[in-house]
Chains A and B, each alone.
Chain A
Amino acid sequence: MIELIGVRKRFGQQVVLDGVDFVVSDGETVALLGPSGTGKSVLLKHIVGLIHQDSGVVRVDGREVSKLKREDLRQLRSTIGYVFQNGALFDSLSVFENIRLGITQEDQFRDLKYCHERVERCLKLVNLSPETALKYPAQLSGGMRKRVGISRAIAGTPKYLLYDEPTSGLDPVNADIIDDLVKSLAAELGVTSVMVTHDVRGSMRVADRLALLTNGRIVLQGTPAEFKQSTLPEVREFLERDFGAITFAA
């Protein structure tokens, strides 16, 4: 379970998170929505301990992230797969080496035979051919980079998957492929997923629950149906901006 309670974070004079309460239960897929620059990615980085809050509590599996010692934090991170916005693939390494780095158990990481099998399996899970392993990130399209990023995140068989804008910058067809992938991975691997996005349509398809972050606070958490019915001005404004005149299908 992931819990954020009263989390506040400011950078200089700018308050980014202003008392965020956010809980994700095991096995859930939650989409964290919000306009650009509202601190969605910052919130996600708190979960994996890349950023620490000024006040409040961030817990993963009951452990307070900001108080973990180095080795405990490393162990926690081995249970979390993080998919970065632009893949964050290592340019100088092949796709194989990139995904191999995601294998967090040292004995498995050193076992080259296991690594080859695992990389092939992870590529297959994201619908990429085994030959992709031989390529370098610069040789991949935007959609493929995102999928390789997902492969790397799942290579260590994580319990949690955190997606930072997995569909941003993609055309609708590729965005749908990634959304489907998020859904299928949650089902096949049984992982708990948190997806930061401003793509309302995609998140409605994928997530069990949605949360809207604006002005440093989560103004609504609920199922897609509850979101559609919400009369909160922030929610209406956000949904209408994304959908315009399109009506929601059931």
Chain B
Amino acid sequence: MTATALDFRRPVGRAVLGALAHVGRLSFMLYEMARALLEWRVWLPRTLTEAWSIGVGSLFIVLLVAGFAGAVTALQTGYQFTGGIPYYVAGSLVVESVILELGPVLTGLILAGRIGARYAAELGTMRVTEQIDALETLGRSPASHLVIPRVLAGIVMIPILTVFANVTGIVSGWLAVQQVLPVTDADFIYGARVFWRPFDAWYSIIKSFAFGVCITIVSCYFGFSTEQGAEGVGKSTTGAVVASSVMILLLDTILARLLLH
């Protein structure tokens, strides 16, 4: 009995210590970032380059997914319309679904895979090939050279990409719903406006901003904490994507509870 209890306590203790170590290292990284914000001459040009790179690089896949998501939402709306419901409601459903949920969440999940994996792999490789150590020995801050540009670029670009995704999703939904229901343009616009509140757009932006913070910081942290060569880079990359995705879903729920009720 005692041995069983001890066996149970040991892994729990290890897990708690491991979690605390993560919290400590993450806090240290955030502290270093805060200090390095003063070095704007270093991070500003790198941020612009990074923002351009992830913005342009991610645009196609974001628009593609948003387009299909909007279209499928519209088609399923048509499938569920059995009569008795005014057709303009289809406009409300498509717009609200895309703005409140599909646009920001799908964009967040796609970018968790695309940007998160890229950041974790880049920084992880730099860690195991001693490039980060090299920066430190040169008296330069890895936070201002590597972390801040990536985090800021993500925080700026993810909401912008979400806006593009929202517009694409709505347009594709608009076109798709007219294929399955006799909804006119006027019906769709009317429906979209009936349930529309300006806060909905802000909610979408706030969500995508929160996802941007989460994706970039989590993936930079995983990359920075990489150990043990190529295998470590693989683990960090996978870990960054999984952790970012889980956090996006958690944040999605928390923000819906906090901001919509």
Residues on A facing B (Cβ under 8 Å): 45, 48, 50, 74-75, 77-78, 80, 82, 84-86, 88-91, 101-102, 104, 152, 156
Contacts and interface: CB of A to CB of B under 8 A. Distances in A.
A178 to B, nearest CB: 18
Contacts of A102: 138
Nearest to A82: B137
Task: List the 6 closest A-B pairs by CB distance, nearest first.
Answer: A88-B134, A88-B130, A82-B137, A74-B139, A77-B139, A84-B130
B136 interface: yes
Contacts of B135: 90, 101
Interface of B: 126, 129-131, 133-140
- Is chain B's binding surface mostly helix, strand, loop or mixed? helix
Contact of B134 (A78, A84, A104, A156): A84
B136 A50 contact: yes
Contacts of A84: 130, 133-134
B120 to A, nearest CB: 16
B89 to A, nearest CB: 51
A101 B129 contact: no
B134 A77 contact: no
Nearest to A41: B130
A195 to B, nearest CB: 16
Given A86-B129, A88-B129, A88-B130, A48 B138 contact: no
A89 B137 contact: no
B139 A104 contact: yes
Contact of A89 (B131, B139, B140): B131
Most buried by B among A75, A82, A88, A91: A88
Contacts of B126: 90
B131 A80 contact: no
A77 B130 contact: no
Contacts of B133: 45, 50, 84, 88
Contacts of B136: 50, 77
A88 B138 contact: no
Contact of B137 (A75, A77, A86): A77
A78 B139 contact: yes
Contacts of A152: 134, 138
Nearest to A81: B137
A78 to B, nearest CB: 5
Nearest to A92: B122
Contacts of B130: 84-86, 88
A48 B140 contact: no
B52 to A, nearest CB: 14
A156 B134 CA distance: 14
A88 B140 CA distance: 14
A152 B126 CA distance: 17
A103 to B, nearest CB: 9
A76 to B, nearest CB: 9
29 contacts: A45-B133, A50-B136, A50-B137, A74-B139, A77-B136, A77-B137, A77-B138, A80-B137, A82-B134, A82-B137, A84-B130, A84-B133, A84-B134, A85-B130, A86-B129, A86-B130, A88-B131, A88-B133, A88-B134, A89-B131, A89-B134, A90-B131, A90-B134, A90-B135, A91-B131, A102-B138, A152-B134, A152-B138, A156-B138
